[in-house]
Copies of this chain bind each other. A is one copy, B any other.
């Protein structure tokens, strides 16, 4: 086999691990399954990583760092804040529908991290990142709609994260698109009432 620098091997293994977790769940993301997905030998795994735990930690850090603002609103002037927010949440919903396994993987990684005190900070960082992205979206939305947040943006962002999480979890279970759209509308409604026109 070709000689591949350790950092590249680590990256390839992390990508393979994400695919395995997405498709089969974290419980099935064994070292053997991951190296098979990456088309490597088992020994190569332990050359690149000290342990499976080390890879999982790195995987969580990677997906968190890579997370993009799926809810980021388009700049369409003339719309009210409520409409802008609803469009943003619906955009996230389309993103969820396009790749449900990825969001399911993110949820599993969160819960995995929650089960170990050592890894709890990883889950916290993940949600801090979500809140940060939500915050930017809400600030942009208010700016476009010419509104001002009455509560701290960080708090409104935290509420938005909770609402999208709930939308995700329930939709992954029942795949009820109409219900998900109702959640989006209700969430946008509630959030828009946390701001005043300027």
What mask results when residues 14 to 28 of chain A are scored 1 for a CB within 8 Å of chain B, else 0? 000000000011010
State how many residues of chain A have any CB contact under 8 Å with chain B.
44
Q: Which of B124, B163, B164, B182 contacts A158 (CB 8 A)?
A: B182
Taking a contact as CB atoms under 8 Å apart, the answer to whether B163 and A123 are in contact is no
Please determine whether B179 and A127 come into contact, CB atoms closer than 8 angstroms.
no
B111 with A107: CB separation less than 8 A:
yes
B residues in contact with A190, CB < 8 Å? 186-187, 189-190
Cβ-defined contact, B127 with A173, below 8 A: yes
Q: What are the residues of chain B within 8 A of A193 when measuring CB–CB?
A: 186, 189
A191 CB within 8 Å of chain B: yes
Against B, the Cβ 8 Å flags (1 = close, 0 = not) of A137-161 are 0000000000000010001001101
How many angstroms between the C-alpha atoms of A2 and B131 in the bound complex? 55
A148 to B85 alpha-carbon distance, docked (Å): 27
Q: Flag A27-52 by CB within 8 Å of B: 1 or 0 each.
A: 10000000000000000000000000
Contact of A155 among B124, B172, B182 (CB under 8 A): B182
Tell me if A170 is interfacial: C-beta within 8 Å of chain B: yes
CB within 8 Å of B: which residues of A?
24-25, 27, 104, 107-108, 110-112, 114-115, 123-124, 126-127, 151, 155, 158-159, 161-167, 169-170, 172-174, 176, 178-180, 182-183, 186-187, 189-191, 193-194
